[in-house]
Structure 1
Amino acid sequence: MSKLDEVAKLAGVSKATVSRVINNSETVSPAARQKVLDALQALQFQPHELKRSSSGGGNGVLGMILPFGKQIWGHSFGIEILAGAEEKAFEQDCLILLGNSNGGRETALTGSMIGRGIEGLIVMSSERGQREHLQQVQAHGIPLVLVDQKVEGLGAHLVRGDSFMGAVTLMTHLIGLGHRRIGLVSPNKHYTYTERIKGYRYALMEHNISSDARFEALESEEQPAAGLLSHMLDADERPSALFVTSPGMLGTVISVLNQKRLRIPDDISLVTFDESYTALPEEYKNFFTSINQSGKLIGTIAVELLFRQQRDPQLEPQEIVLPGTFTARRSVRPLL
């Protein structure tokens, strides 16, 4: 007989009631809760000893799959998500099994983690348009939470930053300082970046500024951002400001601007997202006007959503959207 069974028998309640009590559910009557607490005391059991049993005799391991790239930088967005998730998991006596999906390994890692009996999975999906491997997670009854990237056609819990409104905020700031020719430098894939592109275009429309495809450097496998930006800056009418949607592109953008002998912000202003999550030369630390997201908070909430699903497998998918923090710095100057 498991410890969960022992407590349920002594208290005269169901195992489900015991599970709800030890997970601090509010759906238990005061009388039933007291019976369970008395049984725990009589048997000299601690609540954390039963949590593994209440989730089906699991091993206390949560899975996390993130695309770190070839090198893992110590203060990257992914590391911050992992830090928040690990702290929250540790509070509940759980460990994190981490997988780096760089190189197209997301599907294989997902299958491997299912086979290892994880009790929940957090994924920042980089497999655009693919969802079958994540549907397999759900088919196995394993709680699933997506972070940062929405997967179209998949009904799953999601925690992400507000990329659309963040982009609108940055663009509104530039427009308010007199900028009208604003260039866009962005990846042209994944939900996060498509939302930022939409925000860029929406802000222009809201201020009756015509959208110009010549000012959009949308990177693809066929067209690297450096070449597209170089072409944009060589035009007779170049932008007075740039919106760089990805912090990973800042190094490339700075390099191209240096080649063109354009200084930030004297010759061109620049705004971006999450510059704190990329390695930059010392002179660019605390320099860029930006929207910054809390990766740590995203990771914390993602794990909490896993625990909620464990307590209530019928929990309807939730999309939690976290606003970023806008900070105006030296990379922008008013257009005279």
Structure 2
Amino acid sequence: MITIYDIAEKANVSAMTVSRVINNSGRISEATRKRVRKVMEELNYIPNSMARGLVLQKTKLLSLLITDITNPFYTTIARGAEDTAKRSGYKLLFGNSDEDYVKEKDYVEMILSTRVDGVLFAPTGDASLEQLRQLQKHGIPFVILDREVPGIETDVVLGDSKDGARKLVEHLIGLGHRRIALVNGSPDVSTARLRYTGYREAHLLGGLPLDESLVVSLNYREFQDEASLQALLSLPSPPTAIFAANNLLAVGIIGALRQRGLSVPEDVSVVCFDDFGPAETVNPFLTVASQPAYQFGALGMQLLIERIENGPGSENRKIMLPSELLIRSSTRTWDR
């Protein structure tokens, strides 16, 4: 079945332009109007109500694609996004990529076939560029959450990963730690690069040498790399503290340390990025750089709705949300 996307691609215009030609609305040059109508005739395209609904924002259906629904950070983002969408009369479809580019690609294909009005998108990493360009190609508005993707200009809501990482490491340095490991996400994810930068800056500002043997790059899923932790602990001068780049990594690291008979913080201090939501208030333990996850979702969804309702042409907006250092009982003074 021929769609307005097919028309748009062959006529080298956006899907919204095709819709405006179909509905005889908007400001379009006569040359463009004629070109689109010619392609419609060539492809024997018959306009339908769904196509009109898509670009005129009549479906009132949005998509939220996140990277890991098991992470409380993203669960809370979803809550903020859904609440905001509902207040504006939109319904929300959820997708979870599991930090997997292939799964993310499948979801984007589903989004294109579902014909949503817009997408709130937390990318798996730099490789998400291809998927975001697909959304651009088909004229679907989107806003990026949490991670930037080089090569894409759009509205984005970010946390200050560099500043939060620096605060965490400076806290450890202030407690007397001089051998601080970083268990990070993949370097093809913007937040992992920024958290490494913050880690490095804290060392430089604290007058500590940067030992790359203390830096491990994994991914943001559950910690399952026992060999990496063993390599850190087997160094001639092992770390006395570990900075986990997110909360799931921190939980896995603490479990692995305990299996080796090591206590936190008595033997090793542990800090991490992102809190654990309401559960953390029951028995607060981990020292974290907490991000306002609900605001990520709420602000991102508000930007998306504004972009949909105002149409193309508005300036791109970038919102940077600060992190908060919450000092708890997973760290202690190092005086050995």
**Normalized against structure 1, the TM-score is what?**
0.76
Asked if the contact 1:218/1:225 (under 8 Å) is kept, the reply is no
Counterpart in the other structure of 1:65: 65
Q: Corresponding residue for 1:264?
A: 264
- Is the CA contact 2:125–2:190 (under 8 Å) kept in the aligned structure 1? no
- Equivalent residue number for residue 245 of structure 1: 245
C-alpha deviation, 1:197, in angstroms: 1.2
Query: Of residues 72, 86, 90 in structure 2, which corresponds to 1:94?
Result: 90
The equivalent residue for 2:133 is 135
User: What are the within-5 Å matches in structure 2 for residues 111-126 of structure 1?
Assistant: 111-126=109-124
CA distance in 2, matches of 1:146, 1:112: 18
Distance in 2 between residues matched to 1:54 and 1:307, nearest whole Å: 14
1:235-314 maps to which residues of 2 (within 5 A)? Answer: 235-276=235-276, 285-310=283-308, 311-314=310-313
Using the alignment, how far apart are the partners of 2:86 and 2:55 within structure 1?
A: 16
**CA separation in 1, counterparts of 2:232 and 2:103?**
35
1:66, 1:220 → 2: CA distance? Answer: 15
**What amino acid maps onto 1:198 in structure 2?**
T
Superposed CA deviations along residues 2-48 of structure 1, whole A, max 9, x for unmatched, are xxxxxxxxxxxxx99xxxxxxxxxxxxxxxxxxxxxxxxxxxxxxxx
CA distance in 1, matches of 2:124, 2:300: 17
Aligned to 1:9: none
C-alpha RMSD over aligned residues: 2.7
3-state DSSP of counterpart to 1:314? coil
Give the 3-state SS of the residue equivalent to 1:81 in structure 2. Answer: helix
Partner of 1:174: 172
Query: Is the 2:63–2:116 contact (alpha carbons within 8 Å) kept by the matching residues of 1?
Result: yes
Structure 1: unaligned runs, 5 residues or longer: 1-14, 17-51
Cα distance change of structure 1 residues 54 and 144 upon mapping to structure 2, 3 Å threshold: closer
Give 1:46-61 correspondences, 5 Å limit: 56-61=56-61
CA offset at residue 294 of structure 1?
Answer: 2.0
- 8 A contact 1:83–1:296 mirrored in 2: yes
- 1:72-83 equivalences in 2 (<5 Å): 72-73=69-70, 76-83=72-79
Q: Which amino acid aligns with 1:62?
A: L
Pick aligned residue for 2:150 from 127, 152, 156? 152
Residues in 2 aligned to 1:105 and 1:258: alpha-carbon distance in whole angstroms: 33
Secondary structure of residue in 2 paired with 1:271:
strand
Q: Measure how far apart 1:264 and its partner are.
A: 1.2
Q: 1:236 to 1:86 in 2, by over 3 A?
A: same
Per-residue displacement from partner, 1:141-163 (whole Å, max 9, x unpaired)?
32210111111111121112111
Amino acid across the alignment from 2:232: M
What residue identity is the alignment partner of 1:303? M
- Unpaired runs of 5+ residues, structure 2, are 1-24, 27-51
Sort the Cα spacing of 1:174 and 1:129 in 2 relative to 1 into closer, same or farther, 3 A. same
CA-CA distance at 1:129 after TM superposition: 2.3
Contact 1:230 1:256 in 2 (8 A): no
Mean CA deviation greater in 312-321 or 118-127: 312-321
Counterpart in the other structure of 1:12:
none
Count residues in correspondence. 280
% same residue: 30
Conserved? CA contact 1:131–1:154, under 8 Å: yes
Q: Are 1:332 and 2:328 matched, yes or no?
A: no
CA separation in 1, counterparts of 2:109 and 2:172? 46
Quote the Cα distance in structure 2 between the aligned partners of 1:218 and 1:330: 26
- Per the alignment, residue 188 of structure 1 pairs with 186
CA contact (8 A) 2:240 2:269 kept: yes
Alignment-mate amino acid for residue 128 of structure 1: D
